[in-house]
Every structure is written in structure tokens, then in C-alpha cells.
Amino acid sequence: MYLEAIEIVFIQPCLADANKIRFKAVFSRDIAGVLPYLNAVLPNATYNHEGQVLTFVREGRLFTLYPRELAVAKAANTTDAYRLIDWLKDLINATYERRDELKPDYSLRSRPKPLEIYGWLPRTNCRKCGELTCLAFAAKLLLGEQRLERCAPLFTAEYAHLKEPLLEIVAALGL
């Protein structure tokens, strides 16, 4: 078996939501070689080959993989954490087994620009978030100086179609 084990080394409450947990775990071997293949099979992954870091969101949980360790945020509880690492271990081993059929993807998917985030906002410049414009809000969001929850209109039924994609983007960026 390519990867024998993933061992949790700490669990703490999530910074953004104390009802959820974040945890770190270590791989029983260096998985750097499989990261470009995982990038190829995970459609929503963000990969930096030079920095050897791969992030993606699954079921609302944010995964960050490095060659030797893993960080996960927004897990429901400890049971959920063990379920997630079982799933990830199976994914890594299955991807490694299929590596001859897969094309490794080394592409760097860069962080979105404020205008791209702006495109997912209501774009009414209503100022309810405390910013003069939605574009200013988008720029501060990317800098970690604003929180998505401050855009109240986004959480109304009128903009429900924008909320979910934007929540995924923000989670994938670790914001």
C-alpha cells in the first residue's frame, strides 16, 4: 500500500465556528509525488506545485495537504475527523494506483482577483457591510479584512444562487 496511515496529531475548535473542529495529521510517508495526480482528479483543488501545497473543499470541510502533513478545518467532530482521514487515505492510495492512467496536473491555479469575487456579490453597493462599494468589500475579503457574513444581502433568498459558490470559494481560499 502506498500510504499506510494518516495519524491525527492535534484537534482544536475552529477559529471561525467553535461548534466545529480543525485538526492536523501526519502522513506515514511523503506524498509529494501524488499531489499533481490529486490535482488532476479533484476538480475544485487549488494547487501550488512549487510550494507543494494542495487545497480543496469537500462537504464544506477545507483540506490543505502538504507532502508530510494535512490540515482540515470545519470538521463536525472527532468521529467526522476519522471518517475524513479514512476517505482521504483511500483517495490517495486509489489515485496512486491509477497514476499510469492519469495525467499529472502541475498547473498553478492562482488566487482570484477582487473583480472575480465582485462578480459573485450582489453588486448593489448598498453599504450594509460597512464598505462604500461591493468591489471594496471584495478586495478586503481577499485580504482577510472582511468576512463574507458581513454581506447581509448575500444571505437572503434573492441571492441564494450566489451564496453557495462564494462560500465554496472563500472556504477554498482559507478565508
State the residues that interact with ligand SF4 by CB under 6 A.
Answer: 121-122, 124-129, 131, 134, 137, 151-154
Nearest distance from C-beta of residue 80 to ligand SF4, angstroms: 31
Task: Kindly give, in sequence order, each residue whose CB lies less than 8 Å from that of residue 50, ignoring residues fewer than 6 positions away.
Answer: 108
Q: What is the DSSP letter of 157?
A: G
Nearest distance from C-beta of residue 138 to ligand SF4, angstroms: 7
Distance CA 126, CA 150 (A): 12
Contact 141, 172 (CB under 8 A): no
Between 14 and 175, name the residue whose CB sits nearer to ligand SF4: 175
Amino acid (one-letter) located at 16: A
Distance CA 58, CA 56 (A): 7
Between 104 and 114, name the residue whose CB sits nearer to ligand SF4: 114
Between 87 and 155, name the residue whose CB sits nearer to ligand SF4: 155
Contact 35, 66 (CB under 8 A): no
Nearest distance from C-beta of residue 113 to ligand SF4, angstroms: 16
Nearest distance from C-beta of residue 66 to ligand SF4, angstroms: 33
Between 27 and 159, name the residue whose CB sits nearer to ligand SF4: 159
